[in-house]
Amino acid sequence: MVLKPDSYARRMKGQQGLRRIINALRYSADGVRFACEEQGFRQLLWLHGALMLMLCFAGFATAVKMILVLGSFASIVIELLNTGIEAAVDHTSQDQHELAKKAKDVGSAAQYITLAMLAVLWLMAFTGD
């Protein structure tokens, strides 16, 4: 893909070195702030916050704790991607369309599968050796 010389994308991608890293961190923070505007994302943060608090007091082995933390982070990352998909679809059109519904539903399904995985991991942690 060739970017126009005066385009916004070209100016942003043209940064190098420390400036590019600083910009990337700022864009990431903007993404988290945007996601936090969504009630579902805030609820997910509360859920994972509670799970991390429980993890502090659980007597699991370090490897088990690492897997549970990884599962929580995976869920948060999937929700960020799902929020991005929804925003992109809504930007494209506010009209009801079968493909827009499929895109949103698939993103939602990815989140629920990740939460199911996390539930299985916690169940295994509690019932394991």
**Which one is catalytic: 37, 38, 79, 98?**
79
Dihedral, CA of residue 106, residue 111, residue 115 and residue 121, to nearest 10: 90
Backbone angle region of 45, left / alpha / beta, with phi > 0 → left and psi within -120 to 50 → alpha? alpha
Contact assessment for residue 85 and residue 107, using Cβ atoms and an 8 Å cutoff: yes
Q: Would residue 98 show up in a list of annotated catalytic residues for this protein? A: no
Residues catalogued as catalytic: 79
